[in-house]
Amino acid sequence: MEVPLSAPDITESEIAAVTDVLRSPQLSLGPKLAEFERAVADYTNTPYAVAVNSGTSGLHLCVRALGFKEGDEVIVPSFTFIAAANAIMYERATPVFVDISPDSLNLDPEQVEAAITPRTRAIMAVHTFGRPAPMREILSIAEMHRLVVIEDACEAIGAEYVGRKVGSFGRAGVFAFYPNKQITTGEGGIVVTHDESLAIHIRSLRNQGRSAGGDWFDHAALGYNYRLPEMSCALGIAQLKRLETILEQREAVAQAYQHLLAGCSDIVLPSPNIADGRISWFVYVVQLRDGFTQADRDWIVTELRERGIGCGRYFAPIHLQPSYRDLLKYNRPNLPQTERIAARTLALPFFNKISEKQIEFVCEELIRLLARRRDKCGQMKHPT
C-alpha cells in the first residue's frame, strides 16, 4: 500500500475557478488578487493583507520593510523550517537561535528573554506544526524591551489563541500555501497586518518597488518580483471557503492517529489540545521515547519508506544545517531541547483524504518496526 506523506485536496470547484481565470484577459495583478487578500484579511480579522509568491517571500518582505539590517538581531527558533532564519539573513541581520519548550515545540519564553541583547530588534514567533506559540508571554516580553514581533504562521492558518486567529497578534503575520499546507495556492503566501504603512510598503516591494497608481516603469524602492498570479489567487479563494471543513478533517485524522497509537509506549504523541486555543493540524509528528537514538529514528524512516509509507524528520535544526554550521562555528548556540527532540521526531502521513485503512497500515507498521528496533537494541545492550 502506498501512503504519501502529504497530498493536496483539490475539488472541481477549485479547478473551475482556475479555469475561469485562464479564460480571462488578466493573469496577474487582477481582481482575484484583491479578492483573495480581502478574504484572508477578513478571516484573520486584520485590516490589511498582501499576497506574495511564497511564505518565504512574505517573511523576507517583513524583515525588509521593518528595516532590519546588519548588526540587528532577531530571535527565532532553530526547530523550524529554514526559511524563517533565511529571511533574516537575506537582509544581513543576525538570527539568534533560542530553545523550545518540550511540550509545545514552540519558543520557550524564558529562553527568549535570556537571549535579548542591546542589538535585539525583533522576535520571530513560529506557530510550529499549527500549534499556537505562547503569544501572551512573547508579546509581554516584546513590549517590555520595545521589540517587534513577527508571526511565522506559515503552518498555522486557522489556529486560534485566546479567541483570536494566529497571525493577528504581531506587527505582521505570514501564512504559506505550499501544497502540503492546510490550504494551497500551488506556491504562495500572504502577509497580514494592522499597520497600513507597513502593508503599503510590502505591497510596493513585492512588485519591483512600484508605488500604487504609479507608472509601470517608475520604481520608488528596490523591490522584488514576489507577485502571486491570478490563478493561484482564484485557487486560494476557493480553498479558503472550505477551510473550516478542512480543519475538521485534519483534526479527525489526528484523533485517529491518537487512538491507534495511544497504547504504544515507544513514542510520545503530540498533545491533541491547547488551553485557550485551537490547533490547526499541519502535520502529525511523534517523538521516539528516551533510549532511542537518531540512528534508530533514521532506520525507522528508511524502513517505512521501503514499505511505501511517506515520512519525514521534522525538523532538522537550522543551527546544525551545513549552510549555518560554518557561520556559527565560533558561537554555536546551546539548544539542548531542540537537539534532543529533533533527533527523535517522525512525521507520519497526514492529509485531508487519508483513509482509515491507510492510517491503520501506517500505525501497524510503525509499531512493528519500533518493537523490532527496541528488541534489537535490548539484545545488543544486554546480551544473553
Residue pair 357/373 in contact by the 8 Å Cβ criterion = no
Asked if 68 and 123 count as a contact pair (C-beta separation under 8 A), the reply is no
Q: Which three cell numbers stand for residue 355?
A: 483513509
C-alpha cell at 142: 516584546
Q: The C-alpha cell of 212 is what?
A: 500604487
Tell me the chain's radius of gyration from C-alpha atoms: 21
Distance CA 156, CA 182 (A): 8
User: β-pairing, 284-288 with 267-268?
Assistant: antiparallel
Q: Dmax over Cα atoms in the chain, in whole Å?
A: 81
| Identified catalytic residue from 32, 69, 181, 353 | 181
381 is annotated as an active-site residue: no
Question: Strand 345-348's sheet: what is its strand order?
Answer: 267-268, 284-288, 345-348
Taken in order 365, 371, 264, 107, the sign of the CA dihedral is negative
Residues whose CB falls within 8 Å of the CB of residue 217, separated by 6 or more in sequence, listed in order: none
Report CA-CA distances (Å) from 214 to 27, 207, 370.
20, 12, 62
Strand order in the sheet with 164-165: 164-165, 160-161, 277-278
Distances (CA, A) of 12 to 6, 130, 241, 308: 20, 27, 14, 28
Packed helices 230-241 and 12-22: angle between N→C axes, nearest 10 degrees: 150
Tell me, what amino acid is at 157? I
Contact between residue 94 and residue 120 where contact means Cβ atoms under 8 Å apart: no
Coil, helix or strand at residue 202 = helix
Amino acid letter for position 308: G
Phi-psi region of 23 (alpha: psi -120 to 50; beta: other; left: phi over 0): alpha
Torsion of CA 324, 326, 330, 334, to 10 degrees: 30
Which residues are known catalytic residues? 181
